[in-house]
Chain A
Amino acid sequence: MRLPDSTATLQFLLLLCIAVLSILLFLPLSPVSEGGGIGNPNTSVITRVNITNAAPYVYNLSIINTITLVPNATTWVWCAALVEDLNTVADISSVNATLHNTNFSLPNGVDYNTTHYTNSSCTNFSDVDSFTRLYNCTFELWYNANPGNWTCNITAADAATVSDSERITTTVNELIALMVGDLIDFGKVAVLNYSDNIHFNVTNVGNKNINISVYAYGSRDNDTLAMVCDYGNISIGNIRVSINSSDITSPLDFNTMTIVNNSNSTPTRIANLTVLQYNMTYTASINTTVWRLYVPNAGRPSGICNGTVVFRALRA
């Protein structure tokens, strides 16, 4: 096969220039005015204008009416709009959107999980016709997004950077949620002995502050037991809780710790244990409780001892 020589390359470039010139010849002309005569009051002037750019128009916004968040996870929210551009949809250069909490942020505010989200490039979902396009703007809302009214603001711009905006409101529901581990493990404790301090974290994974109550039972609600063992059992008064985590390395005084109730109808509200919504730092939404177990002789417990502790979150 013969390789192209330099003359052939030049011929190709020449043909390319002719093609570009031909395209440019077909571009629209500038606004024209003709026939105006200076000093003649009766001169009629014929003016013609070729509107080379029409502004985009954002309309028909839609969004879900109420948003229910998922604890410790994100929730997708779609905000959609039709964008019309009379220079055809090809002239729409960008569509972006913000979703912000109406009480705590502004459309041009800074992105923050609790109050403000930005989608700088909404998706071109489908063309309705050659002038109108449906855009879909998605936001991934965190579980701690503030409850209340939120506004989705969609802005479309064209190639000449002319833009239009429209907005729609929705409501984020309050979410009362907690995250806890699966087990409070006291380990091996001999009869007439106390367990070590067992630290157990409670995390607020909703969007409101929560109060924590606890109740415990052996095998069923209100059975007066803290644990049921292979042989015998441990009564309810022998499991205690505290939020005194100032020095949780040294054993807490068992007698100063809070007795846990045995029934779901009278759970023990752990005093001063309000777990805050994750607002500034994630660690602020975690509270540590301290647990201890005493194994009495009464009930003659031995072997593996199993109980249940329920952590209940209520709106603070």
Chain B
Amino acid sequence: MKLISISVLILILSFTIASGATTIGISPGTMTFSKVLKGGYAEQYVQVTTNFPRNLSGHVNIIGDVAAWIQIEGNYTLFNFSAKNPLIAKIIVTPPEDAKAGNYTATIEFVTDRITSVSGGAGSAVKASAATILKIEVVGEELIACTIGAYSIYSTEENEPIDFSATILNTGNARIRPKIELNVWDQLQKNLLLKYEFNAPEILPTTRREASAKIEQKLGLGQYWVDVTVPDCKSTELLTFSVVEKGTIADDGDLHGIFVRPFFYVGDIADITAVFANRGPRPVLAKFKGQLYQDNKLLQLLETDEVQVKPNQQEDFKIFYTPTKAGVYEIRGRVNYNNKLTYEKSATFTALKGPEQQYEFSFWPLLIYLLILLLIIILINKIREELKKKH
């Protein structure tokens, strides 16, 4: 099988190289927007890919009677993509208020630019295009629907707020801000101790957002139950948490490491990732703080934005640096989370002179070579002289 795969690869590569071919792909091939409200909103993503190793430029055509309803987030018409950097475009559909209810279709076409031209005679440069068909159903009736999941509630210490969060997907066709009702009951679920209500942030149709709240509490130590009701999503869920003594909950975080490619050219952007995991029982606010050294000399202090990391979740802190000189660079740092620090981790990378910089004339090594050569000649001469004297 491997042999067949390799043969096929060779065949494909040879075909590609021989013909100077262009490839383009789109995923998915059709996008269905169901029950979009007049004056409403819907979105989906499309990914445009190629196996071309270098940047390939292209343009987008939105075609059809309802092209005016369709836009790509960012409203761009020109784009660049490559094998390593596919284009991920958010397609937004917004039918006007006066649109007639019914089914519509449109096409979005991503076209590569020409990469060659005719040098003699007559010819046509070929552009490759991949298109996706949009099927849009417009309705006049408002449909309120959503699904809710990924509930999280964490045990807390006395007088500390309760952290609650959930993710809501708007499956209807109208914007919603669902009301979330939380009732906190005692351990036997007989006495209602606390009621809390809040509204999720506005969620557009077909999109999902997290709704979270910090609920102040003065409950005693022990276990409690919370029933969560979201009427818009027709959902109820029972959760539990505990209130424990001060100092009982120990935040626990771990900086797995700092990761960076070992070699870059001077002028390239070094993409550094510090990977942090929250191993504790509650969310923490975390940020990476570190230093960048070149040849053991402090170059720069590094600090990222603070983000919330949930229990058992991992956060990749990204740092970008453009080395201006060749040499060995070291990044050392820790993650600061809820006023605690992880162990320090480090990583190194080497910035190399670019291919055009590698042939710079260097004076000092040549001088040293010449001096040594001179010394050898002097010594040989001296020895000869001594030998002559003896004879």
- Spell out A's residues near B (CB within 8 Å): 68-74, 110-113, 142-143, 173-189, 195, 200-201, 203, 205-206, 208, 216, 226-227, 229, 234, 239, 264-265, 282, 293, 295, 304-315
Most chain B CB within a 10 A radius of its CB, from A208, A265, A314:
A314
Q: Are B49 and A175 in contact (CB under 8 A)?
A: yes
Q: Is B28 positioned at the interface, with any CB of A under 8 Å from its CB?
A: yes
Q: How far is the CB of B13 from chain A (nearest CB, A)?
A: 9
Q: Are B131 and A314 in contact (CB under 8 A)?
A: yes
- Spell out B's residues near A (CB within 8 Å): 1, 5, 8-9, 11-12, 15-16, 19-30, 47, 49-51, 61, 63-64, 83, 86, 107, 109, 111, 114-133
Contacts A182-B22, A310-B111, A311-B129 hold; do A293 and B122 have CB atoms under 8 A apart? yes
Q: Are B125 and A306 in contact (CB under 8 A)?
A: yes
Contacts A70-B51, A142-B5, A314-B131 hold; do A183 and B25 have CB atoms under 8 A apart? no
Q: Are B127 and A311 in contact (CB under 8 A)?
A: yes
Q: Which residues of A contact B123 (CB under 8 A)?
A: 183-187, 305-307
With A and B bound together, what is the CA distance between A235 and B43 in angstroms?
40
Cβ contact of A314, chosen from B29, B115, B117, B119, cutoff 8 A: B29
Q: Are B127 and A315 in contact (CB under 8 A)?
A: no
With A and B bound together, what is the CA distance between A74 and B8 in angstroms?
12
Contacts A265-B63, A306-B123 hold; do A178 and B128 have CB atoms under 8 A apart? yes
Can you report 30 A-B residue pairs in the complex whose CB atoms are below 8 A from each other?
Answer: A70-B51, A70-B86, A72-B51, A113-B8, A142-B8, A174-B27, A174-B28, A175-B49, A176-B26, A176-B29, A178-B23, A178-B128, A180-B128, A182-B20, A183-B118, A184-B126, A189-B122, A200-B126, A227-B124, A234-B122, A264-B109, A282-B11, A306-B123, A308-B114, A308-B126, A310-B126, A310-B127, A310-B128, A313-B128, A313-B131
Most chain A CB within a 10 A radius of its CB, from B11, B120, B129:
B129
Q: Are A183 and B116 in contact (CB under 8 A)?
A: yes
With A and B bound together, what is the CA distance between A208 and B177 in angstroms?
40
Q: Are A305 and B63 in contact (CB under 8 A)?
A: no
Q: Are B127 and A71 in contact (CB under 8 A)?
A: no
Give the residue name and chain of the A residue nearest to B1 (CB): A111
With A and B bound together, what is the CA distance between A309 and B125 in angstroms?
6
With A and B bound together, what is the CA distance between A265 and B108 in angstroms?
10
Q: Which 4 A-B pairs have the closest CB atoms?
A: A177-B25, A315-B29, A71-B25, A73-B51
Q: A182-B20, A312-B109 are in contact. List 11 more A-B contacts (CB 8 A).
A: A72-B12, A112-B1, A175-B27, A176-B29, A179-B16, A181-B20, A183-B123, A304-B118, A308-B124, A308-B125, A311-B129
